[in-house]
Every structure is written in structure tokens, then in C-alpha cells.
Structure 1
Amino acid sequence: MTATLTAPAARPGTTARTGWLLATVLAGLFMAILDVSIVNVAVPAIRTDLGASGSGLQLIIAGYTIAYAMLLITGARLGDILGSRRAFTGGLALFTLASLACGLAGGEASLIAFRIVQGAGAALMVPQVLGVIQRSFEGAARAKALSLYSAVIAGGAVVGQVVGGVLVSADLFGTGWRPVFLVNVPLGVALLVAALKLMPAGAGNRDRRLDLAGVLTLSPAVLLLVVPLVLGHENGWPVWGWVSMAAAVPVLGLFALLQRRSAAPLVPGRLLRVPGFVPAAASIFAQTGTYAAFLLAQTLHLQGGRGFTAMMAGVAFIPGAAAFAAVSLNWRRVPARWHAAMTLGGLVVAAGSLAALGPVTGHATAWYDLALTGLGIGAGLGAAFGPMMAAALRNMPVTDAGEAAGLLAMVTQLGQVVGVATIGTLYLTLVRTHVSSEALTTTGLAMGGAALLAAVFALRARGRTR
């Protein structure tokens, strides 16, 4: 039988405390998501100030993502061993210190190194968020918490672009790009104080082991896959990239073999056997890949094809982000018998809106002309992402919350990387020989296809979790 243990409901006297706990861990998640995109708009200023090379700028942006994706599952296991509070606060402290170091960096090499440390801190911190939600809430409260989690993931990327544009444009005290990193410091310190006060001081499970063989095979496998995906396009898809991606396959095979023989596997096979988990995770992968590709292609089109400033391009995403937040926060109000239809309908609406991107933005004269497609994309994905998160975790034993959280966090991160590297690269390739609106039209059709693929997996997940 599949275990279906759930965390005990919060007592009425502790409702306010658990609310503040949720706000604290979600704010930590928001910072981690924000830092993926907030740096993008600062790249020209960093190039000018530090004299950074093209490859150096790529690593300043991608170093964070690479370390983050590579270490997420390891961070989840450390959370089980050390306890969620120690892992979250340790990751948050490392992230905050690295942010300070990034803001004070005097050269390209040091900034790259500190960005990698930032990513490692985020990888230790982020998996604990879903673990806290899984252990601290049940029923409707858990569904609400997962909705907020979904809204933070979607909104963080958009807010990052807007906030990054504001901070760089403000040039506070002549500091140029540095506030995009330094803004994390006061927030990180405040969250650290709150987390130490609010998070339960559990000792963790010292009987769990780190599974060093798993870490030493999974981390290189993810590295071999992610690095060429992140850097490949800017370097013309060199041979080393294809060799690296091909090498990831046997390393992943070795990881799977070692996991079957391990007494404490990094990814327990029982997680993959939980009803609905795998198809729900596949749908989440496709959804996050679609959304990340949309952010990239639309941003490049608005700034390069339509002449929008970075600030205007960021503001253009606000209606879609608001729609995502509104729907993802309220989908649980819909009767349960309609959830499957709502999820599928949302992904179909998102697919149609993505397919309409090129024709609509090709004639747009201002950011508000883009609101209709943005609303369709945001509302459609908002109707699907939260329910799929809930479906993935519905039958998950609380004792496996840490590993499940790390695996889902890695799925979302890899989905973003793969979406940008495939569909995003399609736009970058087409725009060389076509006008931007034509390139976006074809890319939009590809993104619509990815949204429909997510719908297929969502249908399978719903069938498995009933």
C-alpha cells in the first residue's frame, strides 16, 4: 500500500504563527527566483563597469542557474539530515553573504565565483520551502499554500526584470548595477531573524545519509547537461557542447544504477511510484519550460523588434503575472469535480494565447496592447500549475516531503533551462533571417505545442490521482 500520511493540522492557536512561517519561507523562495532574472537587465552596466567579456557575462548570468540546478536534490537531502530550519537558514545565510560579495565584487572572475556560491545557497534553501508546506499544512490550507508557492515562482521572474530595470536606471549613489545584488542583503538578514524565530527547531534525521555516490554522479550529470544548454547558443553550439550533453546520458545511467543499489538513494524509487507524481512532474516541466521561453522570446522581441526600453518590456509582463497570481490563488475555490477540466482548459487557453503572440505583438504600439495575450497566458498557466503541484504531492508521504520537494524544484529549474535552450533558441535563430514578429509567430506556435504537451501529461496525472 502507498502511505498517505499527512502532517497534523495547525492548532487554532498557532494559525497566525504558521501564516508568518509561510510568508518567511516564500519570501526566501522569491529572492531565489528573483535573482535568476534581475541580473539580465544589469548586463550592459556590468560589461561597462567591469570590462567583462562576452563569455564572462554569460557565466555571471548562468553560473547561478547551473549551481542552483545541480545541487537542488542534494540540498533536499541535507534538509532531511540537518532539519528544515538549519538547512533553510544555512542556505539563506550563504545566499545573503554571497549577494553582498556580488554587490562588492571588483572584477569579472570574483563576480562569477560569488554568483555560483549564490546558486549553491539557493539550492540549499529552496527545497525546504515545499517541505515546510507539506509538513505544516493539510487539506485546504495546504492547497492555499501551494497556490501561493506557484504565484511566487511565476511572479518572481517578472518582478526581477522590473526591479532590475528600476535599480539600474536609478543608479543609486552612483552604484550602477550593484544594487541588484545588494537589495538581497537587508531582506536576507530580516528573513534570517524571522526564520530562526518561526521555524521549528527539529534536529533532522541523523540516520539518513547523504549518498555521496549519488551526489558524485547526479551533480556531474546535471552539469554536463545544463552548461551546454545555457551557453550553447551564444557560442554557436560548439562540438564540446554536444559531446557534453551526450556524456550526460551514460552518467545519468550510472546514477540510476547506483540508486538501485544504494541503501539511502538520493532519489528513492518509491517517489516515482507515488500515483500521479511522474506525469504531474512532467506537466510542470513542460509548463515552466513554456513560461521561461515566453519570457525570453517576448522580452527580446519587445526590446529588439519593437524598440521598448527594458523598463517598458518588464511592465508589459505585469498583466500576465497578475492574471497568473489571481487564478493560481483562487483555483481551489472551484469545485473539485471541475479541477481536471479547469486544468486542461487553462492549458488550451495558454496554448491559443501563445500562438497569437506574433500577430498581436507585431502590431503593438505600447505595452498595454499586449495585455490580452498576456492575460490568456498568465490565467491559463495559473489554472494548471497549482493543481499539478497539488497532484504531484497529493499522495506523497510526509516522510518523503524533502526528497519530493528537491525533485520538483529541480524539475522546475531544468524545465526553465531546457525551455530557454530549445524554444528560446528557436526565436534567436529565426530572427537572424526573419523580422522579429515573424520569428515570434513561429516561436509562439512551438510554445503553444509545449503547452498542449503539458495538458497531455496533466490528463494522465489527474487519472492517476483519483
Structure 2
Amino acid sequence: LACGLAPGAWSLVAARVAQGAAAAAMLPQVLATIQAATSGGRRARAMSLYGATAGLSMVAGQILGGVLVAADIAGTGWRSVFLVNVPVVVVGLVLAARFVPETRSQRPEPVDGPGTVLLALSLLTLLAPLTEGRAAGWPLWTWLSLAAFPGVAVAFYTVERRADRAGRTPLVPPSLFALASLRRGLVLMVPFSIGFSGFMFVIAVALQSGEHMDPVPAGLALAPMAVAFLFVSLAGPRLIARYGSRVVSAGSVIQGIGIALIALAAWRDWPHLDFGGLLPGVAVAGAGQALQLPNVLRLVMSEVPAGRAGVGSGVMVTTQQSALALGVATLGTLFLSLVPHQGVRDALIVTLLVQLGLVVLTGLLSLRLPRTVR
């Protein structure tokens, strides 16, 4: 609500910070509740549905955002993108109070203050310069921030390892990474999320600035991706029960084919790339993503004990969200830097080829996942 009513840029930024902090406090609890309140087949179905919902909402949000901005409901313009959350939250509060079981710990651990501060500084020194550097002209502070990142990250790991060895519960326990499924799944999630968010940002900018599409047609061009993601992800539990983590490898191959088809369509049809030209590529890419994201999320949490569900889900969500932000910062910066020199079409194709490389890396990493998923 504060974002939608913000009178200026800085008040919007402050409200966004509060919104992000609240989301970070809320989202990991969804996974933690699933982990603590379910087991066996019910947990497998719940985790698969969570992954399907997460992936579908990221695509659907892009479409809905364009529709809301173009509709300009009651003259709200961009504000409607934030105000639409208010009734959703009200409904969510009612449903949560009625249906979500209580999973509060009988012996809650104290907050890891030093770890929290150092992790925040680590993410800030990495993401802030990458996100704002190009627009600001890469001033001195961006390079100093990037130079500080390795040192802050090492300090964070040292503090967490010391707390873990002392028997306390740090924010990110290094001992948690002894679980092969969690460790390897998180490593795979980084290139996948970078490519996912980078693609969503770049394709929206390319279609609106290069093809001069309005927000609604640009958003609807991705609708086949959402539809394919929904139906393929629903088949995920049966597929992974039968074929194990090979489903994730197959998803990488299928997504790679989809990205290649999109790049081919851009090379062939530009500047007349339309819904029909994008349809095969985005549908195939969405199907491939649906075989990866829900199953990787489920695999990461598959061996985490119920008592550490909150920590495990927090680590996973932080990794995913950081990689999503990194994708917009890196692939977005690459695309926008290439546009003045090569034009929108060639910049888009180069960025898609870089994403294709990330998809190949994701496929190679998937070969190291445990073959069976508990």
C-alpha cells in the first residue's frame, strides 16, 4: 500500500525496502511449514505444487504487470502494480489464519545478529554496484563495493563456521551443506535463476523498445510460457518418481532448444517479431523450465530435517532471490550495453546466446544431482 501511494522516488524506495524485508521474513516460512507439517507423498506433492506456483507466478506476474499498467485503472498507472497486492494480502491473511498449521519451535534459537549483518553486507556489496553501475556510469563507489565483496563474504563464512562449531544455530550453518542434495541443488539453482530473471527482463525491454509493442502485447507474448509451465509442472511428481533427477537434465535440454528457437525467431523475423514467431520458442522453454525449477526446489529440501526446515528454506530462498537479482543486473546490463552499438536485435540475440550457455551449465550440473529423490 505504501508503494502504491508513494509521493516520490525516495519514499517508493523506502517502501520497497520494507516490502522486500517483509517478503524475506514470510516466504521461507512457506517451505518450512511444508517441511514440518507434511511427510512422504504429501510432502512430495506439496513441494512440487510450491515449485510450480513459484515458477508460474514469475511468468504470470510479467503478463499481469503489463495488463495493469496499460489498463490505467482509475488513473493509477504504475501504482496499480503495487495496489493489487493489498486485496491479495487480505485474502491470504484470512486463509493463513484458518488453514496454515502452527509449526512454532518449542525452543526457538536466538537471531544470529553478526551473521545477518554480514550476509546483508555481502549481498549489498555485490548486487548494488551490478544493478546501478551502468546507469550511474560506473563511479568509484561501484568498484570499491565490488572489491569489498570477497572480504565481506569470507568474514561471513568465518563467523558462521565458528558459530556452527560452537553448537549455536547460525543464519547459514556450513554443516547444512554436508547434505549433497542441498549443496548441489543450490549450485544448480544459481545459473538457472540468473538465466530465468535475465530473460524475463531482457525480452520485455526488447519487445517494448525494439518492436515498439505496448505492455499488454509484450506480456501476452510470454503467455505460452506460462501455460506450458503450468501443465508440464503438474506432471513433475510422477516423472521424478519414475526417472529421478534425470528429469532435470531433460528439462535443461528442452529449455536450451526453446531459447535457441527464440534467438532464431529474432534473427529471422526482426523487426516484425510477433506472438506467432515467439510461440514455439517460449512454449518449449517454459516446458523445460517446468521440469527443472519445481524438481530442484523439492530436491534441495528433500534431506533437510524437519527441525532445520526454517534454516534450510531460508538458505534456498536467499540463494534463489539473490540469483534472480543477479540475473537482471548481469544479463540486463549486457543487453543495455550492447544496444547502442549493435541494435536491439543483435543485443537480444547475444544475450540469449549467453543465457543458452547458462542453460548448458545447468544441464551439466544436473548430472551431479542424486539420481533418486526421497
For Structure 1 versus Structure 2, the TM-score category normalised by the shorter chain is over 0.9
Change (3 A) 1:178 1:337: closer
Give me the whole-angstrom Cα distance separating, in 2, the residues matched to 1:161 and 1:390: 24
What is the SS of the residue equivalent to 2:341?
Answer: coil
What is the SS of the residue equivalent to 2:235?
Answer: helix
Structure 1 residue 160 corresponds to structure 2 residue 88: no
Q: How many correspondences in the alignment?
A: 367
2:89 alignment counterpart: 188
1:117: Cα distance to partner?
0.8
User: Which aligned pairs between 1:250-265 and structure 2 lie closer than 5 A?
Assistant: 250-262=151-163, 263-265=168-170
Q: Is residue 215–residue 266 contact of structure 1 (8 Å, CA) maintained in 2? A: yes
2:98 alignment counterpart: 197
Q: Is residue 255–residue 289 contact of structure 2 (8 Å, CA) maintained in 1? A: yes
What is the SS of the residue equivalent to 1:460?
Answer: coil
1:28 alignment counterpart: none
User: Which aligned pairs between 1:136-147 and structure 2 lie closer than 5 A?
Assistant: 136-147=37-48
1:138: Cα distance to partner?
2.3
CA RMSD between the two structures: 1.9
1:436 alignment counterpart: 344
Q: Unpaired segments of 5 or more residues in structure 1?
A: 1-99
Structure 1 residue 345 corresponds to structure 2 residue 246: no
Deviations 1:101-157 (A, max 9, x none): 222222222222111111111111101011111122223322222222222222223
Structure 1 residue 411 corresponds to structure 2 residue 314: no
1:287 pairs with one of 179, 192, 215: 192
Deviations 1:280-318 (A, max 9, x none): 111112111111111112112211222211111100111
Give me the whole-angstrom Cα distance separating, in 2, the residues matched to 1:437 and 1:141: 46
Q: Is residue 275–residue 465 contact of structure 1 (8 Å, CA) maintained in 2? A: no
Give me the whole-angstrom Cα distance separating, in 1, the residues matched to 2:139 and 2:50: 38
2:49 pairs with one of 128, 132, 148: 148
Give me the whole-angstrom Cα distance separating, in 1, the residues matched to 2:56 and 2:373: 28
Structure 1 residue 224 corresponds to structure 2 residue 125: yes
Structure with greater contact order relative to length (CA < 8 Å, sep ≥ 6): 2
1:60 alignment counterpart: none
Q: Is residue 355–residue 447 contact of structure 1 (8 Å, CA) maintained in 2? A: no
2:111 pairs with one of 199, 210, 216: 210
1:430: Cα distance to partner?
1.7
Whichever residue aligns with residue 55 of structure 2, its letter is: A
1:356: Cα distance to partner?
3.2
Give me the whole-angstrom Cα distance separating, in 2, the residues matched to 1:122 and 1:340: 30
Deviations 1:297-340 (A, max 9, x none): 21122112222111111001110121112112211222634233
Structure 1 residue 390 corresponds to structure 2 residue 295: no
Whichever residue aligns with residue 31 of structure 2, its letter is: L
Q: Is residue 229–residue 417 contact of structure 1 (8 Å, CA) maintained in 2? A: no
Change (3 A) 1:184 1:207: closer
1:192: Cα distance to partner?
1.1
Give me the whole-angstrom Cα distance separating, in 1, the residues matched to 2:65 and 2:329: 23
Give me the whole-angstrom Cα distance separating, in 1, the residues matched to 2:373 and 2:243: 14
Give me the whole-angstrom Cα distance separating, in 2, the residues matched to 1:408 and 1:203: 20
Q: Indicate the percent of aligned positions where both proteins have the same amino acid.
A: 36
Q: Is residue 195–residue 355 contact of structure 2 (8 Å, CA) maintained in 1? A: yes
Q: Is residue 193–residue 320 contact of structure 2 (8 Å, CA) maintained in 1? A: yes
What is the SS of the residue equivalent to 2:36?
Answer: helix
Deviations 1:254-278 (A, max 9, x none): 1111112212211112210012211
Q: Is residue 56–residue 230 contact of structure 2 (8 Å, CA) maintained in 1? A: yes
After TM superposition, the structure 1 stretch with the greater mean CA deviation from structure 2, 346-355 or 283-292, is: 346-355
1:304 alignment counterpart: 209
What is the SS of the residue equivalent to 1:334?
Answer: helix
2:26 alignment counterpart: 125
1:322 alignment counterpart: 227
TM-score, normalising length from structure 1?
Answer: 0.75
Q: Is residue 263–residue 349 contact of structure 2 (8 Å, CA) maintained in 1? A: yes
Give me the whole-angstrom Cα distance separating, in 1, the residues matched to 2:75 and 2:300: 47
1:277 pairs with one of 182, 192, 198: 182
What is the SS of the residue equivalent to 1:373?
Answer: helix
Q: Is residue 357–residue 440 contact of structure 1 (8 Å, CA) maintained in 2? A: no
1:161: Cα distance to partner?
2.5
Give me the whole-angstrom Cα distance separating, in 1, the residues matched to 2:160 and 2:218: 45
1:438: Cα distance to partner?
1.8
1:69 alignment counterpart: none
Q: Is residue 276–residue 464 contact of structure 1 (8 Å, CA) maintained in 2? A: no
Q: Unpaired segments of 5 or more residues in structure 2?
A: none
Give me the whole-angstrom Cα distance separating, in 2, the residues matched to 1:175 and 1:293: 28
What is the SS of the residue equivalent to 1:264?
Answer: coil
Structure 1 residue 114 corresponds to structure 2 residue 18: no
What is the SS of the residue equivalent to 2:109?
Answer: coil
Change (3 A) 1:463 1:332: closer
Give me the whole-angstrom Cα distance separating, in 1, the residues matched to 2:50 and 2:111: 27
Runs (4 or more) in structure 1 with deviation over 6 Å come to: none
Q: Is residue 144–residue 329 contact of structure 1 (8 Å, CA) maintained in 2? A: no
